[in-house]
Amino acid sequence: MLLIDLLRSRTRIDLRHAVGLLSLASIATTMVLIIVNLAAEQAEDGVASMRYLGMMALSLIGYIWAQKKSSDLIAAEVEHILHQLRLSLFDRVRKAAPDTLAKVGQGAVQTALTQEMQTVSAALPLMLNGVQQVVLIICVAAYLAWLSTFAFVMISVLAVVVSTIHLQRMRKINAATRDAIDDENLLFGGLTDLLHGFKEVKMNSRRRDALLGALNDRSIRARDTKSVVKAQWSREFALIQLAFYGMMAAMVFIVPIFTSDYHDVAVQTTTAALFMIGPIGAVVASVPSFTDSDVALRKINDIDHQLEDALDAQHAQEATNGTSSPETLEKLGGALGNIAEISLRDVRFAYPGTTDSPGFAVGPINATFKKGEITFITGGNGAGKSTIIAVLTGLRPAASGSIMVNDCPLPSDALQLYRDHFATVLSDYHLFRELYGIDDIDPKRVETLLKQMEIDDNVEIDDNAFSTTSLSQGQRKRLALIAALLEEKPVLVLDEWAADQDPHFRSVFYEKILPSLRKQGKIIICVTHDDRWFDAADTIYHVRDGEFVDGRQTTSA
């Protein structure tokens, strides 16, 4: 079972210690049963034994101590294991290239990190409680064996028969559980469409009806498969309860026929059997969550392996390019510390294609971006501007050609080092409310930037975070630019940044903000369609079909 493998492989504690504590709690509980039986015998003779009362108090103290110790240990350990699992997935996501993540599916990774983790989180404590109850059942069974060997053998045979039937039926239930979870995930996918596309759904009643129809169908399927699983489990509970009552009946009607001295222990044996109802119920009730968590863990593992395979392929590709020597990295570090220019030399890149058509390709690209200069990249939709930006910023590794920092070629194993020198607001940017990675923010600088972006009335920075991001599209982009500028990087890349700005602020951007950034000595690269302000650039590259067709030096800048 994956859950047990997970516990074994990830735990920091000695599992024998935890099981020992759980067993101690079970033994203490069994002691209570034995003492009650013995005290009851004395009570029949009208004697109230203080010795048994003391022993019972000791057993209860032992139970409470072991239970508290084991609960604390297990609760901390369960959360530690989940934390480890999350970190491992975060790490793989961190290392993944954009294509790797796209291949596995962002939605699948998100589901693994949220829904499936929650299922496992709920199941782990139940499973450990189940272990305790199993130990308790074993202890009570041993007590039964001591009271009456015949009763014990009979119960054991009955337990083996019922367990065999139960396990057979479990296979069917497990398969149905997997179907139910798949149906539920399909339903959640549709819900994401409904919530993310809420406005589009509101605007179009045909789309709304079609989407709600599909959601309804998926919900019906999820309902039906789930109710089949629940009905199967109810039948299982009934079977186990029936077996239990059968066992009680056998003890009071059948055992006395075959054993002569049974009447001496009949009451104790029946009490012990009754004592098992709770633990058996708890064990049976915890089984469905094991099944759910096993399915959830399989899904998490699956995503983990898919990411791992994609990363292995990525690393194999990187390995063919070799590893840079410390001298090369040192030279590159020096160049990056004082970037005068970045050049692309015969750079090519292509998206993976399909069997029917090759992926879109850019290159050969030749261009130079200089410190203290503004470069515009223009071109029609789909010409390849954003793809070139992705290669230039090191988000996508070039297939051939070279990127030069000053006169130093960028090796493919130093892309992260290179990327760390860029601040970007890309076309599909994400605005973080928290200014992650930006420390010691100077409040005066923030004030100036907020004023310069004309949003000082709407936003402030508190505790390293924007006070709000609930703003208009244009204002959100201004915040993204502030965050990029606070990073204080030597290269600034903006992909269609001004597209959402009003005419007034566009002129502020092109006529004031960009020139002041040029004065600061940054390399500024902007993808833009704003031909009215082409004069603001020092150099303009025009892209057509993945190539620069015109690189012109403007005169006015």
Residues that bind ligand ATP (CB under 6 A): 351, 359-360, 379, 381-387, 427
CB of 386 to ligand ATP, least distance (A): 3
- Indicate the residue among 290 and 349 with the shorter CB distance to ligand ATP: 349
What is the amino acid identity at position 204? N
CA nearest 92: which of 289, 247, 293, 300?
A: 300
- Indicate the residue among 155 and 403 with the shorter CB distance to ligand ATP: 403
CA distance 497 to 476: 11
CA distance 38 to 45: 12
CA distance 468 to 434: 10
CB of 92 to ligand ATP, least distance (A): 20
Residues 6+ away with beta carbon under 8 Å from 366: 343, 344, 345, 346, 347, 548
CB of 103 to ligand ATP, least distance (A): 11
CA distance 285 to 181: 19
CB of 134 to ligand ATP, least distance (A): 52
Per the document, the length of the chain is 557
Task: Using the structure block, give the residue that is written with the tokens 């009451």.
Answer: 267
Task: Using the structure block, give the residue that is written with the tokens 């034994």.
Answer: 49
Write the DSSP string, 270-306: HHHHHHTHHHHHHHHHHHHHHHHHHHHHHHHHHHHHH
Q: CB 527: neighbour CB atoms within 10 A? A: 24
According to DSSP, residue 370 is labeled: E
Distances (CA, A) of 497 to 160, 396, 534: 71, 21, 14
- Cα 199 from chain centre: 28
Q: Confirm if 22 and 131 have CB atoms less than 8 A apart.
A: yes
- Indicate the residue among 93 and 395 with the shorter CB distance to ligand ATP: 395
Helix (H, G, I), strand (E, B) or coil at 377: strand
CB of 483 to ligand ATP, least distance (A): 22
Residues 6+ away with beta carbon under 8 Å from 132: 22, 23, 25, 26, 70
CA nearest 490: which of 331, 330, 335, 324?
A: 335
CB of 309 to ligand ATP, least distance (A): 19
- Indicate the residue among 246 and 359 with the shorter CB distance to ligand ATP: 359
CB of 358 to ligand ATP, least distance (A): 10
CB of 380 to ligand ATP, least distance (A): 7
- Indicate the residue among 322 and 380 with the shorter CB distance to ligand ATP: 380
- Indicate the residue among 183 and 547 with the shorter CB distance to ligand ATP: 547
- Indicate the residue among 100 and 132 with the shorter CB distance to ligand ATP: 100
- Indicate the residue among 110 and 427 with the shorter CB distance to ligand ATP: 427
- Indicate the residue among 91 and 531 with the shorter CB distance to ligand ATP: 531
Helix (H, G, I), strand (E, B) or coil at 137: helix
CB of 112 to ligand ATP, least distance (A): 22
Beta-ladder partners of 379 = 543
- Indicate the residue among 224 and 545 with the shorter CB distance to ligand ATP: 545
CA distance 188 to 276: 40
CB of 96 to ligand ATP, least distance (A): 14
